[in-house]
Amino acid sequence: MRIVLGVDGGGTNTRVALVAETGEVLGIGLAGSSNYDDVGVKVAQRNIGLAVRQAWQHARQKRRPADAAFLGMAGVVSDQDRQTIRTIAEHLQLAPLERIGVDHDIRIALAGGLAGQEGIALIVGTGSSCYGRTADGRSWRAGGWGHLLDDYGSGYYLGLQAMVAAVRAADGRGQATALLPLVMRELKLNDINELMRRLYYENMSRSEIASLGPKVLEVIAEGDEVAEAILKKGIDELVLMVETVAKQLGFLSHPFRLTWAGGIAQSPIFQRYFRPAVQQRLPNCELIEPQLPPVLGAALLALEMLNVPITPDLIATMKRTSRLPSVQPNAE
């Protein structure tokens, strides 16, 4: 029985799935971030290795190179990025070199979300990005340029804008907002002036800032107007990403499908604002709940490397067997 390995390497966690060629999910693994732009190559490699080892243990099989592997990784944009990840995969002996695939994480979000069919995927997690692919293999990406240039609507964006709103409220330039006590509480600040030290001298990480994102959504649920305005601005930019990809791929003139991934995108509060914004601006867009998680999208792409047909029965088997007992993360 041939076995493939799928890797979803995000800015917060790394997920791994071992899948048989029948679609049966044999084991899963979870570890810390493997976005090497954030944590460095050594930590990224260590976390991928930890998640892979856990997946084989979960499958109750001795670890060996899988027959094929596909890694969908946050931060992978250039050929140099792909080579860095391929080198990691080679060092960890994930699969034979000729059957190791590497691409950005939104490629696997699309593969999983739409079960291998054409359409568009939007990732809104620590960062944000949008990617579409046609049945004949044409593709386009919008967004995903990193936290200094982009990442609108993401956890990082929400967290950063919450801090901006907090300091403006503190010095009187901005509207009073529950984001001020939120920022102080979550960052354990005794005084809002301590925020400068945390940001500029202690080099608060991107993931630390992004961790405020879900809390901002909670404040929105409580009716905070400032937080709501921040989310609406972010969603406007996210819908623009979707519209741009759809235009480039020729989707706007006929019905097309959109799915999503990422912790922020899956939030009911986010969806409450996101869905009407999409429907108003893109009436031909059909919103599709993700059929499979991104890590199983990576496994689907690995199966394709073995020329395994992606049939409805295989997808059904994946869905049925993916409900494995939860595992605890190996965090680094």
Is 169 domain-assigned?
A: yes
Contact 321, 327 (CB under 8 A): no
Do both 175 and 97 map to the same domain?
no
Is the predicted pLDDT of residue 327 greater than 70, yes or no?
A: no
Do both 295 and 239 map to the same domain?
no
Is 329 domain-assigned?
A: no
Higher pLDDT residue, 114 or 205?
Answer: 114
Mean pLDDT of 244-252: 98
Number of folded domains that form the chain: 2
Q: By C-alpha distance, which of 259, 35, 236 is closest to 132? A: 259
Do both 152 and 107 map to the same domain?
no
Is the predicted pLDDT of residue 223 greater than 80, yes or no?
A: yes
Is 85 domain-assigned?
A: yes
For 332, the 3-state DSSP assignment is coil
The 10s digit of each residue's pLDDT in 47-62 is 999 999 999 999 999 9
**Which single residue is written with the structure tokens 């899956």?**
266
pTM of the predicted model as reported, rounded to 2 decimal places: 0.88
Q: What is the reported pLDDT for 329?
A: 52
Do both 96 and 147 map to the same domain?
no
Do both 70 and 217 map to the same domain?
no
Do both 133 and 148 map to the same domain?
yes
Do both 202 and 151 map to the same domain?
yes
H or E element in which residue 328 lies: none
Q: What is the reported pLDDT for 328?
A: 52
Do both 272 and 126 map to the same domain?
yes
Do both 141 and 186 map to the same domain?
yes
- Domain holding 40, by residue range, is 3-115+291-321
Mean pLDDT of 317-328: 75
Do both 56 and 198 map to the same domain?
no
Is 306 domain-assigned?
A: yes
How far apart CA 110 and CA 132 sit, in angstroms, is 7
Is the predicted pLDDT of residue 325 greater than 90, yes or no?
A: no
Is 96 domain-assigned?
A: yes
The 10s digit of each residue's pLDDT in 298-315 is 999 999 999 999 999 999
Is 207 domain-assigned?
A: yes
Q: By C-alpha distance, which of 30, 38, 23, 41 is closest to 7? A: 30
For 139, the 3-state DSSP assignment is strand
The CATH number of the domain holding residue 136 is 3.30.420.40
Contact 153, 221 (CB under 8 A): no
Do both 110 and 167 map to the same domain?
no
Is 37 domain-assigned?
A: yes
Do both 142 and 77 map to the same domain?
no
The 10s digit of each residue's pLDDT in 83-108 is 999 999 999 999 999 999 999 999 99
Mean pLDDT of 137-145: 94
Radius of gyration of the chain (CA): 20
Mean pLDDT of 14-18: 97
Question: Could you tell me how many residues make up the chain?
Answer: 332
pLDDT band at residue 266 using 50, 70 and 90 as cut-offs: very high
